[in-house]
Structure 1
């Protein structure tokens, strides 16, 4: 069963820095906005601690969320989040309306599976290097994946997995690949660690061969 996130929201009529500070300090809420789609932008406030707790779940960032504003529910995605520069506090959130008939752009986390058991790592002493941990996808809201798996089981030593190698759910495209082959970025690779005994042995063999020549 798909996970659901429901956020309680309240109308926000008074705006400005002073009003936002009072909202955070006195009511323990933060200012936010709902925009996009066919409706007008709506200023709201939401419970700070409720949102902070929801953010502990990775799925929150790549899910269609439901905002309940005085009994009216809207489907949205979290588009932007602002935090205090040094305190563990949220300061503002932007939510974008979604329509089942219109595609959305969302950053989805990558889950690397079978990494520890990959022969290149387990048997050959390789280490994996992650170039990215999330990827921007384009899809209809109902096709939005919670995450994309990157199966490391058959990745060989010095092999590089690129965006074009990822297996995507039906109806999901990677935004970068639509810009051309030059944007087929590396995602993960397995290499021998620098300074390893294997490297030293290969260097020694190379030097010995040069001396014989």
Structure 2
């Protein structure tokens, strides 16, 4: 099922124009890439916010409709307001069905509930949560599954252990020295136990505290006598 994004072409550029669009509940955006020239567009803040709630929007080839034209694109960059977490700008990259696409896709860890070691309270350490991949647009996956069902304590999975969808490759493993660019994706280990060290009370210090308290009492009594005299 394709995802459609509706947009309107815009002519005005600059910070002032962008601020006016945001006041009108629109998001300034741009389409670039391919043989066509970059195109400035605007999106409905409500529509794009709704679409971004679906994880598949980030990992799909989208149909971007501007007037009577439709471009096949992927999300390239999303900017958000640092305090309000509101989308302030989006970059779309045109894709060609016949050209390889380089993008990032998430890792989905499956089999956690079925893993016996994890059910006994051990930890799954996730060191990599997304990877850069290369594929044709038609082969773009919504994510890569990492099956941890059979991992035991001390076991780990690396990038080279991942089962990739057909037509998908991990870009970092395309170097001649694969081992040098391989990474540990996850591992299973025993939980870390934080031992609380008991504070030892030194008798000498305790006696010193008592002595200070006695001196304070004597000093306070002396002050009270002086007050009574007055």
TM > 0.5 between the two?
yes
Deviation of 1:141 (Å): 0.2
Q: Deviations over 1:9-50 (max 9, x none)?
A: 10110101000000010x211111100011111111111121
Deviation of 1:169 (Å): 0.8
Structure 1 position 9 matched with structure 2 position 7: yes
In 1, the alpha carbon distance for the partners of 2:119 and 2:67 equals 55
- Tell which structure's C-alpha radius of gyration is larger: 2
Residue segments in structure 2 that go unaligned for 5+ positions in a row: 196-230
Query: What residue in structure 2 maps to residue 56 of structure 1?
Result: 53
Deviation of 1:58 (Å): 1.0
Residue segments in structure 1 that go unaligned for 5+ positions in a row: 198-213
Query: What residue in structure 2 maps to residue 151 of structure 1?
Result: 147
Alpha-carbon distance change, 196 to 84 in structure 1, aligned in 2, over 3 angstroms: closer
Query: What residue in structure 1 maps to residue 83 of structure 2?
Result: 86
Query: What residue in structure 1 maps to residue 173 of structure 2?
Result: 177
Give TM-score, length-normalised by structure 1.
Answer: 0.87
SS of equivalent residue, structure 2 residue 49: helix
In 1, the alpha carbon distance for the partners of 2:85 and 2:166 equals 38
In 1, the alpha carbon distance for the partners of 2:51 and 2:94 equals 19
Match of 1:42 among 35, 39, 42: 39
Deviation of 1:196 (Å): 8.1
In 2, the alpha carbon distance for the partners of 1:28 and 1:39 equals 28
Match of 2:26 among 25, 29, 43: 29
Give TM-score, length-normalised by structure 2.
Answer: 0.81
Match of 1:97 among 91, 94, 108: 94
In 1, the alpha carbon distance for the partners of 2:50 and 2:130 equals 21
Q: Deviations over 1:70-109 (max 9, x none)?
A: 0211100000011111112111100000001101111111
SS of equivalent residue, structure 2 residue 89: strand
Deviation of 1:181 (Å): 2.1
In 1, the alpha carbon distance for the partners of 2:26 and 2:179 equals 45
CA RMSD of superposed structures (Å): 1.4
Structure 1 position 136 matched with structure 2 position 132: yes
Match of 1:166 among 153, 158, 162: 162
SS of equivalent residue, structure 1 residue 189: strand
In 2, the alpha carbon distance for the partners of 1:52 and 1:185 equals 34
